């Protein structure tokens, strides 16, 4: 819903919101979410009964920066076989391959903003380890979608590494798998599926170049597969 609002800064009515992924809702869940967003002052209701965001810079893919921090940190923790990493390493970890798209994806200002956002949302926590501040990836429900998506892709395609797989085959796999699910794992449209691939590629869980995807064996992938 935040993504929908971000795309329409002038606001949306409840009727306009009840389309696409929300069209099957009878109204109860939709109104609960609207009440929650209004309570935290992220959304306000206007005199014309439209709901609109109250803050600037809510770009499409509101969850993407949270997923990026979680995936990047988790991959590094599994690589080093450590539960945490020094917090001072997190900015460099994110800036090495960027966050999101566009010219600003490597900018220090964006990286710092994303880290603050992830900390505020509870996706990453700061803990003391040996007297030093360390970053810990939490078991946040906001980050669970990227874990579920990665582990399902991993189970399906890791056996074909190191051979690259056509991007079209990966996207078709995502669409087919979600077709019969009440709650999709890979999102509702190609934009959602591309967002998942982008986050995983920037986090070095996969390689995505020239419309080819390689899903190598990783400790994080193996950890998820062991519970399948």
Residues 44 and 71 in one domain: no
- Per the CB < 8 A criterion, the answer to whether 215 and 160 are in contact is yes
Model pTM?
0.79
φ and ψ of 66, to 5 deg: -65, -45
Which of residues 122, 137, 152 is at a domain's end? 137
Region of residue 100 (phi > 0: left; psi between -120 and 50: alpha; otherwise: beta) = left
Mean pLDDT across 105-110: 92
pLDDT in tens, 7-47: 777 889 988 888 776 777 777 788 888 888 888 677 889 99
- Per the CB < 8 A criterion, the answer to whether 188 and 135 are in contact is no
Distances (CA, A) of 155 to 5, 215, 226: 35, 10, 10
Mean pLDDT across 212-227: 91
Is pLDDT at 86 greater than 50 in this prediction?
A: yes
φ and ψ of 188, to 5 deg: -110, -10
Residues 119 and 185 in one domain: no
Which of residues 99, 122, 137 is at a domain's end? 137
Domain count, the chain: 3
pLDDT in tens, 174-211: 999 999 888 899 998 999 999 999 999 999 999 999 99
Lowest mean pLDDT among 38-42, 91-95, 109-113, 177-181: 38-42
CATH code at position 212:
1.10.10.10
Residues 172 and 151 in one domain: yes
Residues 133 and 148 in one domain: no
Is pLDDT at 60 greater than 60 in this prediction?
A: no
How high does pLDDT run on average in the chain? 89
CATH code at position 113:
1.10.10
Structure tokens, 4: 């929908």
- Residue 45: inside a domain, yes or no? yes
Rounded CA-CA distance 216/119 in Å is: 29
Domain enclosing residue 19, as ranges: 2-53
- The pLDDT of residue 57 is 57
């Amino acid at each position: 819903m935040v993504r929908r609002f971000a795309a329409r800064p002038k606001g949306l009515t409840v009727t306009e919101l009840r389309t696409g992924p929300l069209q099957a809702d009878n109204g109860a869940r939709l109104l609960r979410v609207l009440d929650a967003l209004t309570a935290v002052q992220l959304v306000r209701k206007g005199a014309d009964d439209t709901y609109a965001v109250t803050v600037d810079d809510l770009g499409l893919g509101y969850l993407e920066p949270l997923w990026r921090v979680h995936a990047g940190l988790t991959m590094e923790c599994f690589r080093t076989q450590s539960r945490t990493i020094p917090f001072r390493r997190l900015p460099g970890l994110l800036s090495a391959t960027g966050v999101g798209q566009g010219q600003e994806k490597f900018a220090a200002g964006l990286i710092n903003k994303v880290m603050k956002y992830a900390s505020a949302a509870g996706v990453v926590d700061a803990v003391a380890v040996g007297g030093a501040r360390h970053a810990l990836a939490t078991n946040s429900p906001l980050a669970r979608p990227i874990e579920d998506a990665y582990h399902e892709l991993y189970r399906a395609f890791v056996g074909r590494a190191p051979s690259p797989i056509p991007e079209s085959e990966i996207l078709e796999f995502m669409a087919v798998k979600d077709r019969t699910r009440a709650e999709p794992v890979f999102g509702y449209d190609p934009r959602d599926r591309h967002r998942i691939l982008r986050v995983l590629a920037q986090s070095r869980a996969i390689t995505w170049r020239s419309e080819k995807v390689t899903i190598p064996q990783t400790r994080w992938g193996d950890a998820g597969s062991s519970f399948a």
